């Protein structure tokens, strides 16, 4: 579940993924991490829809601590 949440949040591009994500979390912290991931992902989808992004496009999340890749997907949420 934490790995899915990491992908939803964009943390899967971090060098610590998957070996370190969640290793030091309590159950309560893990639950909060997963809830935040789902909330942010849905917010990004709603925001993309409001911006007029085609419904067939995939929202790709980026963690705030990484730089953006040179190839840009159709929509990126910061």
pLDDT tens for each residue of 4-60: 898 888 888 877 777 777 788 899 999 999 999 999 989 988 999 999 998 888 887
Residue 64 neighbours by CB under 8 Å, 6+ apart: 78
Residue 44 CA to residue 22 CA, distance in Å, equals 23
What is the Cβ-side half-sphere exposure of residue 78, based on CA atoms within 13 angstroms?
0
Residue 25 CA to residue 22 CA, distance in Å, equals 5
Residue 59 CA to residue 67 CA, distance in Å, equals 17
The pTM score is 0.67
């Amino acid at each position: 579940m934490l790995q899915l949440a990491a992908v939803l949040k964009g943390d899967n591009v971090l060098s610590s993924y998957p070996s370190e994500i969640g290793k030091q979390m309590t159950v309560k912290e893990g639950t909060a991490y997963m809830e935040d991931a789902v909330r942010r992902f849905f917010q990004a989808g709603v925001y993309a829809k409001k911006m007029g992004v085609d419904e067939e496009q995939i929202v790709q999340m980026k963690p705030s601590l990484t730089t953006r890749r040179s190839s840009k997907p159709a929509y990126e949420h910061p």
